[in-house]
Amino acid sequence: MRKVFTKLKILKTKHILCKAWINGKKAKLLIDTGATNSCIHSDLQDYFELQKYGEPFLASGASEGKMEAIMTLNCNIKLGRNYKGKQAFVLLDLSHVNDTLNTQGVEKIDGVIGADFLKENNTIIDYGQSKLFLQLESF
């Protein structure tokens, strides 16, 4: 195991933003310790070349109640300069999240890094240094 970090941006709303690459494409992802699963805005499925997996299901959102969602197959994810490996996402309509961020003058996000990723990688969020530390199994 190797501990690495990536820089975070603390937004004026106090949300935490992480720059990443998904299948080689730039992504802006919120870090959300309260989100059970990592997710990507469903409108970006083609942009990130994500393949759906399984049947649609109803997912609970923080403010929108139940929404239709579907899992993706594992894809490549890279945080900062550090290659993480594979990650499956939930495809979910995040328009309501972006609408809320927009009303507060904050840029749109492409998705959310949730507890599934954070726990799997034994992550530590260091607010003072604005860094996300994680463990990589291999490079």
Q: What's the domain range around 125? A: 2-136
Angstrom distance (rounded) from CA 135 to CA 120: 9
pLDDT tens by residue, 25-49: 999 999 999 999 999 999 999 999 9
This prediction's pTM: 0.90
Instruction: Identify which has the larger pLDDT, 98 or 59.
Output: 98
The reported pLDDT for the residue numbered 80 is 76
Most confident of 20-34, 79-93, 122-136: 20-34
